[in-house]
Amino acid sequence: MLQWMADKPKKVYPPIVRIDREGVPIGPITFKEGHRRMGGEYEQELFHSTTNLLIYDTPLMERVLLQLRQGVVGSGKWDASAGGHLDWLVEENRPMTPEECAQRELNEELFSEKGIPDELRLQACGSMWKRHDPNNQELTYLFRGIYPGPFNPNDEVADVQFVPFPGVLKDIYANPQNYTNNIRLCLERDWARVRK
């Protein structure tokens, strides 16, 4: 293990939102419960919700922003512009909305919590079940935004780059080891919407 990873304090995750098969919030679960391992402690299906954001540099949507993950799940791989889990807001005893989560993740990951530029507006683009991993049953809400930069990523992000869209899908298929499964699913879904 790299020394900087061994020295880094373990991240404490707030409770995330458990949902039923229709996507209706049920209540809070731990991050670990939402990411069960077959044959392990959590055998039951514990569905949960996430958001993923795709930021394009212009309204023509010819280039999409990818982030290179570091120090977190998916380290060393390219992923969506931003994204994360919907938290259970303990003090308010309610689930975070997809819109609240999208705004939080955008501000945290791409702007180091210094505020989202006024000209960057997010548009909800639907949702999809991600069931590519039997240990991770997620209903993901997709958001899209247009913003050419600049960005100020936090320490979970090693780099951000605009890449050709949909051309990046060819590289994802040819070199899947360089990308999270998540980004492939999100880009395929967005490309299907754009072509309509």
Cα dist from 97 to 19, 102, 129, whole Å: 12, 9, 17
| 6 part of a folded domain | no
Average pLDDT over residues 25-43: 73
Q: How far apart are CA 101 and CA 83, in angstroms?
A: 8
Total domains present in the chain: 1
Return mean pLDDT, the chain: 88
Q: How far apart are CA 35 and CA 134, in angstroms?
A: 9
| 5 part of a folded domain | no
Structural domain for 70, as ranges: 12-195
CB count within 10 Å of CB 17 equals 26
CATH assignment at residue 153: 3.90.79.10
Question: Mapped to the 3 state alphabet, what secondary structure does 152-173 carry?
Answer: CCCCCEEEEEEEECCCHHHHHH
Closest-CA residue to 163 (of 68, 51, 70, 84):
68
Q: What is the pLDDT of residue 1?
A: 42
Share above pLDDT 90 across residues of the chain, in percent, rounded to a whole number = 70
pTM (2 decimals)?
0.87
Per-residue pLDDT tens over the stretch 105-142: 999 999 999 999 999 999 999 999 886 555 567 899 99
Average pLDDT over residues 76-102: 97
CB count within 10 Å of CB 168 equals 21
| 184 part of a folded domain | yes
| 52 part of a folded domain | yes
pLDDT score of 181 more than 90: no
